[in-house]
Copies of this chain bind each other. A is one copy, B any other.
Amino acid sequence: MFEKILIANRGEIALRIQRACRELGIATVAVHSTADAEAMHVRLADESVCIGPPPAKDSYLNVAAILSAARITGADAIHPGYGFLAENAGFAEMVEAHGLTFIGPSPEHIRMMGDKIAAKAAMARLGVPLVAGSDGAVPDVASARLVAQRIGYPVLIKAAAGGGGRGMKVARADEEIEEAFRVARAEARAAFGNDAVYLEKYLDRPRHIELQILADAYGDVVHFGERDCSLQRRHQKLLEEAGSPALDAARRDRLGETVTGALGQLGYRNAGTLEFLYQDGQFAFIEMNTRLQVEHPVTEMVCGIDLVREQIRIAAGNVLGYRQRDIRFNGHAIECRITAEDPETFMPTPGRVSAFHAPGGLGVRVDSALYAGYVVPPHYDSLVAKLIVHAPTRLEAIGRARRALDEFAIVGIKTTIALHQRIMEEPSFQAGDYTIHWLERFVAAGGASSGA
């Protein structure tokens, strides 16, 4: 096992990793910019090194400074957290080149998944479902109709040579396919001088569902079920659940089998998450994140596993030590991301936290680097706290989230607590009836009951 780990990050995730190290009896080195000298992750670490001025590019993205800090403190491994250098293959290579262990996947896999096209191609080869469609061009309406019936309406008819929406038509039912096919084809010929068209499933109301996996260096791969991250604003996740209100155990198991099989063939190592769009019972792979994710705690609550501890164990060369059948899913968990933003305008609100009091009690977990008197610097991400609740059922989890949000006191800066409080009261959310468009509409409607 490692003796000293350098945590190349800040904020709540640096604290999260600090806690896992402390529990494993591993010494820690915090790195920080001049803006974070008083930060919680610095206060709690065994050692700290100032690596640069506030701008991330000069500090938390400053590879030379971080590697020098590791050297002068004698750290033997580096945990990158998420963001910053977490998915930088070059950094991972340099870490290894300096004889240190990078706590994460191999640079090759980071690079592969960083290229979204290559990632999709690889996953397709390995049998992971992408968005359904015709393999190549469809010659006539009859075959178009057959494909549409196979993959299910609505379907998108796209110009093979196309782009920019031209030569692109939606058919929502059988009676629309002929017309749509003819128009798409005509537009394609006119626009590109090539009337070849192909079909793709049209996802008009998908959910964002992702699958958490762990793999050791010896080919064992286990999944920890799904997270539903459909509640997003401007592609920023705001609230996540495990499991998804839209998925049953059978579907989860099938997807899990496919994914763990694929990653086994790939020889993937450490933690990873595959993101999918999910609609009408079908999954379409979007991308794979080769790191720990912000929302990992909901999986930890439901599976009773410490994902960061496991990342460290795996990087140190340990075997997983458990199989898929050992993983149990207990109850339901919800994470509320609380950011230093105005809950109405989403303007960032850095500044001094004059009072901080986290909720407590049964089934409530808070991951936050805030404390009374801390000044939230303006230079970094606005995430300041994660409230995670766990309960036997989703309904009880919502009740618990509601009371915990009511107890949560962050005074001095505006936060999105009030927005989460409104979401909890929303019938369509309570019913689990939402897609990736839900939150945008809810916010547009001013968090009113027309949110669904």
Residues in chain A within 8 A of chain B (CB atoms) = 15-16, 19, 22-25, 44, 297, 300, 304-306, 330-331, 355-358, 360-368, 371-372, 391-392, 396, 399-400, 402-403, 406-407
Q: A306 — which chain B residues lie within 8 A by C-beta?
A: 362-363, 391
CB pair B360–A366 under 8 Å, yes or no, is yes
Contacts A16-B361, A330-B330, A365-B360 given; indicate if A403 touches B22 (C-beta within 8 A): yes
Starting from the known contacts A22-B406, A304-B330, 15 additional A-B residue pairs (CB-CB under 8 Å) come to A19-B362, A22-B399, A23-B396, A23-B402, A23-B403, A24-B399, A297-B362, A306-B363, A306-B391, A356-B357, A357-B372, A360-B365, A360-B366, A360-B367, A361-B367
Q: Which 5 pairs between the two chains have the least Cβ-Cβ distance?
A: A22-B403, A23-B399, A360-B366, A19-B361, A23-B403
Q: A400 — which chain B residues lie within 8 A by C-beta?
A: 23
Interface SS majority for chain A: mixed
Number of copies: 2
Q: A367 — which chain B residues lie within 8 A by C-beta?
A: 360-361
Could you give 20 example pairs across A and B, Cβ below 8 Å? A16-B361, A19-B361, A22-B399, A22-B402, A22-B403, A22-B406, A23-B396, A23-B399, A44-B407, A297-B362, A304-B331, A304-B392, A306-B391, A358-B358, A360-B365, A361-B365, A361-B366, A361-B367, A362-B365, A372-B372
Q: Which residue of B lies closest to A300 (CB)?
A: B362
Q: A22 — which chain B residues lie within 8 A by C-beta?
A: 399, 402-403, 406
Q: Which residue of B lies closest to A406 (CB)?
A: B22
Query: Given the complex of chains A and B, what is the CA–CA distance between A15 and B366 in angstroms?
Result: 18
Query: Given the complex of chains A and B, what is the CA–CA distance between A371 and B399 in angstroms?
Result: 23
CB pair B371–A357 under 8 Å, yes or no, is yes
Q: Which residue of B lies closest to A330 (CB)?
A: B304
